[in-house]
Amino acid sequence: MNQYFKLSPDRQREESFKRLMAYIREYVYPYHPYLRGAYRGLGIDVGKIKSYDDFSKLPFITKKEYRKDPRAFILQPKFPTQESLIPYDTAMINKGLLLKYALQAGLNLPRDRVNEFKDMGFKEKVTRRIVHEWFPIHFHASAGSTGDPTPAVYTYRDIKKVLPEMANIVWIEPKDIPEGSPRAAFNKINFNTFPGAPHLAFFQAVLTKLFVGASSFDSFGGKVIPTDQQIRIFASGKFNAITSVPSYFVYWLRKAVEMREKGEIGDMPFFEGALLGAEGVTPELKAYLLSLTKKIGAHPKFRIIASYGSTELKWAFIEPDYDCGIHLDPRFYFWELLDPETKKPVKQGDPGILVFSHIGWRGTVFVRYWTGDLIKGGLFYDRCPRCGFTLPRLYAPIVRYDKDFTKIKGTKVLIPDLVTAVRDTKGVSSFQIIIDKKVPDDPFSMDVIKIRVSADRSMSEGAIKESLSHRIKAFIELTADEIIFEKDEKAIETELFAKTGIKAEYVIDRRQEH
């Protein structure tokens, strides 16, 4: 397996494509309800797909299709005498697979410890191996920006065979990390702040520590252990790292700064890094977070690790170090970066929409899933010059092509730029941006931008308002119509996370509600 990540880029991509084609022919087309029907309806013969040009003619899958019937995206072969259990037109299980299960049952391979405690007949042993491969045993759902959950299903085989390999990619580090910088080590301890809920961020943190043998405390989020108590536990336990949603980590650090200034906690030189997920991390946000870590006496070379994942992907991938690119897995995925208009591959390093296909998975499976994520820094499919492994790498910024852009007062605005302008304004503690119509029920009324702000005590409201106005104008070439100073910071924080409980809703566009 390790040799796979040492192949030349061209050879590795060739091998990845071969694996994908075999997977589509032997597993996806026979047993995937949605894609079997879609390919048949379009007259596609998957046996004739020989090249990428052939493959590129397959239709995309978007969240719209997936949400209509998530069960239709789970691999579901039919079994003799059990056909009625599958309500879709899928194929009967391959006889070769049935023979494999029978041989495994007879030889007890892989070794099944249940035999030591349960008296099973041969038929039950065979059934157990079938269940391991095909029966869903875990699912979680996306919170997303809409709050409308989308589930992803895993089988025992996914968890035993696929996930452990990808989990161990977390140990990849560049060979040129500067002297004195924190490094990953088996004896360091992590503090997981992801809310305890059925979503990828929480479960990946839990599963990763089990797969790689790392130490981590799961706080289950601020609703279970309040933020100030988390910080006390973190400081007294001398934790080395934290996993968090970027927006919550901002709040967490600000609270830690406040507690340190009050003398409730001391310096944290043992605090070495953060792995952030579920939201993007811009260079401006990284710089701001590093400025906060300095105020709590964290390690002088504090490392912020960005990640990229989604419920549909069924996993998230990390950026081992600054400017290293988010390292993707090429064995269990096939990656494409396409022009949003022409749907053709872009040149290496050019921006495009990320499209992926699963390879070798069971449970929920996608082929050519259109993520809608615009990878502005491009996709590099070569040997990483810093870690030496051949892995596809994404470079930020990453924005939602269809959601992160909007028009306000006739001007095209990148929402993350507006958020950055407000969040990084000195004196702003918490905030929420509201885009509305001047006359709410009039669709032809002028757009207005309102900023709700909770200010810290470092500056006067007048100074903050002036600075905020200048920054918004500089970032998006528009001015805020109203800046409202709120006294109750906790109320704003509660409202920020009210919709999903995971991601902060920094921007509310009420124009679509009227």
DSSP for 107-140, please give it. HT-S--GGGGTS---HHHHHHHHHHHHHSEEEEE
The domain locations on the chain are 405-512
DSSP β-ladder status, 241-244 and 273-276: parallel
Output the pLDDT for position 179. Answer: 85
- Rounded to a whole number of angstroms, the distance between the first and last alpha carbons of the chain is 55
Q: Which helix (H) or strand (E) holds 35?
A: helix 33-41
pLDDT band at 197 (very low <50, low <70, confident <90, very high): confident
* Range of lowest pLDDT (6-20, 82-96, 418-432): 418-432
- What's the number of CA atoms in the CB half-sphere (13 Å) around residue 265? 25
d(CA 356, CA 334): 6
Between CA 418 and CA 478 the distance in angstroms is: 10
- What is the overall mean pLDDT for the chain? 91
Q: Is the pLDDT of residue 143 over 60?
A: no
Q: Which residues contact 357 (CB under 8 A, 6 or more apart)?
A: 20, 333, 334, 366, 367, 368, 369
Helix (H, G, I), strand (E, B) or coil at 292: helix
Whole-number pLDDT of residue 27: 98
Span 198-251, pLDDT tens digits: 889 899 999 999 999 999 999 999 889 999 999 999 999 999 999 999 888 988
Any idea which residue has 């998230």 for tokens?
316
- pLDDT (0 to 100) of residue 472: 93
Interval 298-309 mean pLDDT = 94
Residue type, 190: N
Better-scored residue on pLDDT, 472 or 491: 472
Instruction: Tell me what the mean pLDDT of segment 280-297 comes to.
Output: 90
Q: What's the pLDDT at 513?
A: 63
**Quick one: pLDDT at residue 280?**
80
Q: What is the arithmetic mean of pLDDT over 454-471?
A: 88
H helices, E strands: number in the chain: 16, 22
333: helix, coil or strand? Answer: strand
Q: How confident is the model at residue 500 (pLDDT cuts 50, 70, 90)?
A: low
Q: How far is CA 262 from CA 38, 229, 265, 268, 455, in A?
A: 62, 15, 8, 15, 18
Q: What is the pTM of this model?
A: 0.85
pLDDT in tens, 155-187: 999 999 999 999 998 888 888 888 888 888 889
3-state secondary structure of 255: helix
Query: What DSSP letter does each residue of 169-208 carry, written as one string?
Result: GGG---TTPPTT-----TT-EEEE-S-SSSSHHHHHHHHH
Per-residue pLDDT band at 144 (split at 50, 70, 90): low
CATH fold for domain 405-512: GMP Synthetase; Chain A, domain 3 (3.30.300)
Question: With 90 as the cut, is the pLDDT of residue 284 above it?
Answer: no
Q: What was the pLDDT predicted at 84?
A: 87
**Is the pLDDT at 277 greater than 60, yes or no?**
yes
Between 191 and 222, the more confident residue is 191
| 266: region left, alpha or beta (phi > 0 left; psi from -120 to 50 alpha) | beta
φ/ψ of residue 473, rounded to 5: -60, -40
**Share above pLDDT 70 across residues of the chain, in percent, rounded to a whole number:** 97
Local confidence band at 1 (pLDDT 50, 70, 90 cut-offs): low
Residue 87: CB atoms within 10 A of its CB come to 10
Q: 264 in helix, strand or coil?
A: coil
Average pLDDT value for residue range 73-78: 98
